[in-house]
Amino acid sequence: MRVIFSTLAKHELEDSARYYELEHEGLGKRFKAEVKRAARRIARYPLAWSIERGEIRKCPLHKFPYKLLYSIEQDHIFIIAVAHQHRSPDYWVERVEGLN
């Protein structure tokens, strides 16, 4: 199944990758690669991860304290947020409410 990142999720991905790259050279690339692997896992097994809220599921990354929050649409997976697991846990909820 195809995976589509929301504009805000793309910004979060880029911002987090830049932060990690400033912390240690190459770490930003590793973060992006981990997000890509998680997106591929979601595309293959969209129902494998638990529900975060309503119809939104969460897929935690293996090596970074982030999770991908996504919805399963008829013909694609929609990534709503690339969210840090320990900061402002519900900040993304208004994004979902805006979709309805």
The rounded Cα 47 to chain-centroid distance in angstroms is 15
- DSSP letters of 1-46? -EEEE-HHHHHHHHHHHHHHHHHSTTHHHHHHHHHHHHHHHHHH-T
Distance of CA 84 to the CA centre of its chain: 9
- Give the CA diameter of the chain: 41
- Residue 37: give its domain's CATH number: 3.30.2310.20
What's the pLDDT score for residue 100? 45
Counting the structural domains of the chain, the total is 1
* Domain hosting residue 25, numbered range: 2-99
User: Looking at per-residue confidence, does 86 or 10 come out higher?
Assistant: 10
Q: 10 falls in which pLDDT band (50, 70, 90)?
A: very high
User: pTM here?
Assistant: 0.88
Q: Up-side HSE of residue 81: CA atoms within 13 Å toward CB?
A: 21
For residues 61 and 85, the model is more confident at: 61
